[in-house]
């Protein structure tokens, strides 16, 4: 549930009054982009990274953000202040706008929503997540569009497989989870897929870490390569690094969060809380 107030085109509305006309191109053609960032104790985290990606997604989809970065930051701050919630997730949603014929782009609508941060239960950290693999390549993977048609459709499949999330592969080559990047840990290497993925901001932070005894690289690998891994984890804005302890029902390592995953998670916390 979004917080009490929602910003639409830089105006604040009560959540129950926050509505968009039925000619918007997001409803008719699934056309829009978004980004999602954390605010901790009123400090937006990695906001320049998120803005870089948001404005780039908009440009790639030929959508005008209307507000510049200074205005957008002020709009976020105004929403956070009005809601009086210091720690949250902020979603920036830019739609294809009101379309005369339900097909061509209009002037985009910019919606900003504040959500409680839904982190995985810290107590379950030790047992981690189960993933189930699925052959699907997202269209325009490098752009953060609202296209999650397959991901949402797979919810019943995930439930049936008793999985916490899906791990996509492209005809055998591992790519990403619908809302997170994926890392594996070998004896001396930490590897994350390189191509056909959304390059997450948390992922980019991890790629710059120094972990004693390990190299950290971007490189594609296949489902078959999973047999030799010691640990696996996902990264995302909400989950930081979170352990993956089983894939397609096969246990990874001893089925518990490993030391590298824990170390990456700690480093991400430190980096996040060092952010001003």
Contact set with a copy of itself (CB under 8 A):
1-2, 6, 8, 15-16, 18-32, 34, 61-62, 91, 93, 95-96, 100-105, 111, 113, 115, 118, 136, 139-140, 145-153, 155-156, 179
Whether the CB-CB separation of 36 and 89 falls below 8 Å is answered with yes
CB closer to a copy of itself out of 100 and 122:
100
CB closer to a copy of itself out of 113 and 264:
113
- Return phi, psi of residue 137, to 5°: -110, 120
Shortest Å, Cβ 264 to a copy of itself: 25
Whether the CB-CB separation of 7 and 75 falls below 8 Å is answered with yes
Shortest Å, Cβ 111 to a copy of itself: 5
CB closer to a copy of itself out of 118 and 123:
118
Q: How many Cα atoms within 13 Å fall on the side-chain side of residue 99?
A: 19
Shortest Å, Cβ 20 to a copy of itself: 6
Q: Which residues have CB under 8 Å from 11's CB, separation 6+? A: none
Shortest Å, Cβ 94 to a copy of itself: 10
86 alpha-carbon distance from chain centroid: 21
Shortest Å, Cβ 147 to a copy of itself: 5
CB closer to a copy of itself out of 35 and 231:
35
Residue in this structure with the two tokens 């959508």, named with its chain if needed:
63
Shortest Å, Cβ 242 to a copy of itself: 16
- Return phi, psi of residue 80, to 5°: -60, -40
Report residue 249 as tokens: 């029902």
CB closer to a copy of itself out of 100 and 121:
100
- Return phi, psi of residue 242, to 5°: -130, 135
Of 196, 158, 155, 190, nearest to 174 (Cα)? Answer: 196
The helix (run of H) or strand (run of E) holding residue 58 is helix 47-60
CB closer to a copy of itself out of 64 and 254:
64
Q: Give CA–CA dist 252/258, Å, rounded.
A: 10
Shortest Å, Cβ 227 to a copy of itself: 29
CB closer to a copy of itself out of 74 and 104:
104
Residue 157, SS3 per DSSP: helix
């Amino acid at each position: 549930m979004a917080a009490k107030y929602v910003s639409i085109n830089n105006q604040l509305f009560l959540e129950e009054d926050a509505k968009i006309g039925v000619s918007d191109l997001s409803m008719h053609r699934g056309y829009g982009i978004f980004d999602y960032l954390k605010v901790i104790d009123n400090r937006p985290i990695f906001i320049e990274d998120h803005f870089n990606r948001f404005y780039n997604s908009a440009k790639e989809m030929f959508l005008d953000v209307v507000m510049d970065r200074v205005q957008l930051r002020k709009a976020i701050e105004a929403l956070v202040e009005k809601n009086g919630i210091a720690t949250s997730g902020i979603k920036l949603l830019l739609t294809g706008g009101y379309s005369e014929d339900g097909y061509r782009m209009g002037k985009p609508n910019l919606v900003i929503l504040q959500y409680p941060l839904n982190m995985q239960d810290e107590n379950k950290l030790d047992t981690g997540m189960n993933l189930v693999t699925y052959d699907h390549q997202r269209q325009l993977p490098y752009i953060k569009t609202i296209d999650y048609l397959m991901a949402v459709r797979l919810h019943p499949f995930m439930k049936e497989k008793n999985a916490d999330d899906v791990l996509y592969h492209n005809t055998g080559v591992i790519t990403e989870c619908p809302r997170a990047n994926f890392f594996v840990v070998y004896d001396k290497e930490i590897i994350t897929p390189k191509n056909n993925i959304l390059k997450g901001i948390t992922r980019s932070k991890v790629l710059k870490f120094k972990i004693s005894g390990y190299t950290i690289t971007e490189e594609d690998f296949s489902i078959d390569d999973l047999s030799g891994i010691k640990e696996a984890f996902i990264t995302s804005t909400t989950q930081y690094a979170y352990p993956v302890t089983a894939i397609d029902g096969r246990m990874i390592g001893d089925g518990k969060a490993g030391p590298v995953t824990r170390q990456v998670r700690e480093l991400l916390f430190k980096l996040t809380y060092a952010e001003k």
